[in-house]
Structure 1
Amino acid sequence: MKQIIGWVRGPWAIAVYTYREGIRKRTLIGFLILSLLVIFGSSFISAFLDPTSRTDIELKLIKDICVATISIFGALITVFTSASVVPNEIENKVIYSILTKPIRRWQYLLGKFLGAQLIIIVNLALMGILFFAALYIRQGILPTLLLWALLLTYFEFLILSAFTFAISTAATSPVLPTIGGLFVYITGNLTEYLKDVQNRAGQTGKWLDDMLGRIAGILYDVLPNLQNFSLRNQIVNGMPNDPPTDVMIPNLMAYGLIWAVGGFLLAWLIFWRKEL
């Protein structure tokens, strides 16, 4: 039992330290403040609409703006956090003093990854709370559908975080993993488009189109489909507050966990072979 507690205590201490250091970064604070201002400002959008037809349009615009803000700024916070937690400590040489202690590499990585998740969860929760407030001001209700949307959004960010984190273990600065994380986010939200490109490419008979189709097919096969986690249409169009019947939430959570575990194992394999 003491050995198990010791294994858990090390990663948790690193996670708490990572969280405390991360929330002080000006870039992340700037993203959070800007996102909160956009969400808060969406509540006053009625001032720019025609008073005779603003009820439904106003509510849809508020929802659309808030959902887009949480998605975009949440992804930026996820990428910048996951891309920097390890490379920054390599640059500052803090990692060497940590790894000289009786802490194994997997414990260090797990702690850094959990610390990044704490930062992501707190930021997502703050944006979600303000979104709730904006809707409550206009509707007078607290839509439970938004809770499911935030839950699935976190699992989307969990996948994004895991693969950005994996790239960061092979880098010595946050630049490359940031680019890689943004690439995963953009292409992961365009997987259906990639499939369409693959299907259309073979119809032209041109070698360039065929090559683009092959590349699109490879990306479609190896990248996670982040579009699966979006409840944007249900929220904006005012679907019922119950869990949406057309979305298998437990399956999506399992899908997200599998991809996240795969990304973390990739990070461990890279970091295990890294010379420090």
Structure 2
Amino acid sequence: MRKYNMRQIWIIAKASILENSRKQVFHVLCLLVLTVIVGSTLLSIFTEGVKLKILKDLCMTTILFGGTVLAIALGSTGIPNDIENRTIYPLIARPITRVHYVVGKFFGTFLTVAMGVAAMGLVFGCLIYSYQRSFDMFLPMALLFTLLETAIVAAVATAISTMATPAVTAMLTFMFYLFGTVKIGYFAGLIGRDSNPVTATAAKLVYHLLPNLECFNLKTALVHQDPVPASYMIQVAVYGVCYIAFLLFLGSAYFARREV
């Protein structure tokens, strides 16, 4: 039964990947990569140590930005476009449940983003190697956690897209990402200093519902070569997977009851 379920999910995911590959969003990634490669030539004015740190910071920031843009663009349009173009009907008419459909659309988006992140990581890894003359062993780990962060963004977009238009989904997902990034710095301080009980309660609710996306950012550790405990990375990875599962559960539960 489990093998059957995975096969249905993979059918949707594969179709989603093929659909995503026809879109123009990968041109954005090519432009980002080209910009960083050209911009890296301007680092010659810095010393070797500073130059390498700036390059690593620039590469990781670009990968996160590109992956997030991909996740929002693809995740917010997948399901609404299928409904608008009526391509969803042949799919759900087959022995594929709506839960399989939503989960499959997420994995299609996630795998497309993963290919983009892997391609950028490979190019930037070679670029860093050309400056450092050695391979940074922590770079793949930093890329994996960046990918997990973009997977959460893709799950948010997929869940919201089951109930909203692409434009609304993209806007809400971006706000979700923005608030999740500044969660610790802003909402934690707001809770501590706000004397209004209503505002404080609302801030607490938002604080506990939003994920802490900054915990997936290992850029500082990569740039400054700081050690990261394995226990921390395991906890963060489990936290990310559980949050994605929670979002997909919400999106699937709503979509299963929606008329299309």
Q: Normalised by the shorter chain, which TM-score bucket? A: over 0.9
Q: Which 5+ residue runs of structure 2 have no aligned equivalent?
A: none
1:40 paired residue number? 37
Q: CA deviation at 1:126?
A: 0.8
Q: Work out the CA distance in 2 between the residues paired with 1:268 and 1:120.
A: 21
1:60 paired residue number? 53
2:205 paired residue number? 218
2:242 paired residue number? 258
The one of 149, 165, 169 equivalent to 1:177 is: 169
Q: Which 5+ residue runs of structure 1 have no aligned equivalent?
A: none
Q: CA deviation at 1:232?
A: 1.5
> Would the aligned equivalents of 2:105 and 2:158 in 1 still touch at CA under 8 Å?
no
1:144 paired residue number? 137
2:232 paired residue number? 248
Q: CA deviation at 1:211?
A: 5.2
Q: Report the AA paired with residue 186 of structure 1.
A: L
TM-score, normalised with respect to structure 2: 0.93
Q: Report the AA paired with residue 132 of structure 1.
A: G
Q: CA deviation at 1:57?
A: 2.0
> Would the aligned equivalents of 2:26 and 2:116 in 1 still touch at CA under 8 Å?
no
Task: Please provide the CA RMSD for this pair.
Answer: 1.8
Q: CA deviation at 1:97?
A: 2.2
> Would the aligned equivalents of 1:45 and 1:62 in 2 still touch at CA under 8 Å?
no
Q: Report the AA paired with residue 43 of structure 2.
A: S
1:119 paired residue number? 112
- Equivalent residue runs for 1:8-157 within 5 Å: 8-26=6-24, 28-47=25-44, 49=45, 53-157=46-150
Q: Work out the CA distance in 1 between the residues paired with 2:31 and 2:225.
A: 26
Q: Work out the CA distance in 2 between the residues paired with 1:167 and 1:200.
A: 32
The one of 248, 253, 259 equivalent to 1:269 is: 253
What's the secondary structure of 1:224's corresponding residue? coil
TM-score, normalised with respect to structure 1: 0.88
Count of residue correspondences: 259
Q: CA deviation at 1:39?
A: 3.1
The one of 197, 221, 224 equivalent to 2:190 is: 197
Q: Work out the CA distance in 1 between the residues paired with 2:97 and 2:170.
A: 26
1:227 paired residue number? 214
The structure-2 alpha-carbon separation of the partners of 1:214 and 1:45, relative to structure 1 and needing over 3 Å to count, comes to farther
1:187 paired residue number? 179
